[in-house]
Structure 1
Amino acid sequence: MSIIFSLLLALAPFFSTLNSNNASASEPVVVEKGFCRIYGAVYLERDPKYRNTAAYTVFLNDDEAFANMIVYKEKNKLFADNTAIWYLTPKKAFADHILYVTDKRNLADFTVHFTDVRSYATCRE
């Protein structure tokens, strides 16, 4: 009898994870687009050796119509204080966000188009 009880105690954690997985499978999953919170000092990494140090992979799009994010390049870091307003820093150490730039659109997490008008800066969800 004590062997059966020991066996049940040993297997109890596996049964609890099975039940919790089934319960969460019926709940809807909400996916949040974290790239919409990118603003401030941004460093664009182009060296493939350091791709893993970047938070996101981006594709720089020439066409505004198909971009996920319309970004305004701010000249002063202090004024880059809202969504899609970036100060492109020349040094990685001074960056708030590090993004890897790819030339293949299908490998990117999102696409970026740079605009000359600050009020056009937005994130499209």
Structure 2
Amino acid sequence: MNILFNLMLVLLPFVKEPAAALQPTPAANDICRVYGSVYLERDPKYKNTASYTVFLNEEEAFANMVVFRENNKLFADGTAIWYITPNKAFADHILYVTDNRNFADFTVHFTDVRSFAECRE
């Protein structure tokens, strides 16, 4: 019995478990967590550095996110409240702006009223 136990201890590191059991399932991209300082990248050369691709929508009815543009970075602390930073180095999120709605991960409409800011995903 002792020999069997020792054999199991020796072979235990070589036993492969299913990969799904070892790693948790990745969460879906949650666009509602995009808030704070945001840099809008428009140069296609740097498209791969962005975390999401967005389309700026003119109509609020078809937008996935209605965003309020905050003037102070400290107050951009809620869902769909962005401080648009002019410098990529200071951004919490980098978003690539596309002209084609079909290539976008989500669509954004900017509002002038803070209480209208919402995420519709």
Question: TM-score by structure 2 length?
Answer: 0.79
Q: What count of residue pairs does the alignment treat as equivalent?
A: 106
- Work out the CA distance in 2 between the residues paired with 1:33 and 1:51: 17
User: Which of 36, 42, 55 pairs up with 1:46?
Assistant: 42
Q: Does 1:86 align with 2:82?
A: yes
CA RMSD in angstroms, aligned pairs only:
2.1
Once the two structures are TM-superposed, the CA of residue 99 in structure 1 deviates from its matched residue by: 0.1
The one-character-per-residue Cα deviations of 1:67-118 (angstroms, maximum 9, x if unpaired) are 0000000000000000100000000001000000000000000000000000
TM-score (norm 1): 0.76
Question: In structure 1, what is the Cα distance between the partners aligned to 2:32 and 2:107?
Answer: 11
Looking at secondary structure, tell me which structure has more helix per residue: 1
1:75 aligns with 2:71: yes
Specify every segment of 5 or more residues in structure 2 that has no aligned partner in the other structure, as ranges.
1-14
* Corresponding residue number in structure 1 for 2:11: none
1:40-81 CA distances to partner (integer Å, 9 max, x unpaired)? 000000000000000000000000000000000000000000
**Structure 1: stretches of 5+ with no match in the other structure:** 1-11, 24-28
Structure 1 residues 19-30: aligned runs within 5 Å: none
Q: Please report how far the alpha carbon of residue 30 of structure 1 lies from its aligned counterpart in structure 2 after TM superposition.
A: 8.8
Identity of aligned residues (%): 71
1:116 corresponds to 2:85: no
- For the residues of structure 1 that align with 2:108 and 2:101, how far apart are their CA atoms? 11
- Cα offset, 1:33, TM superposition: 4.1
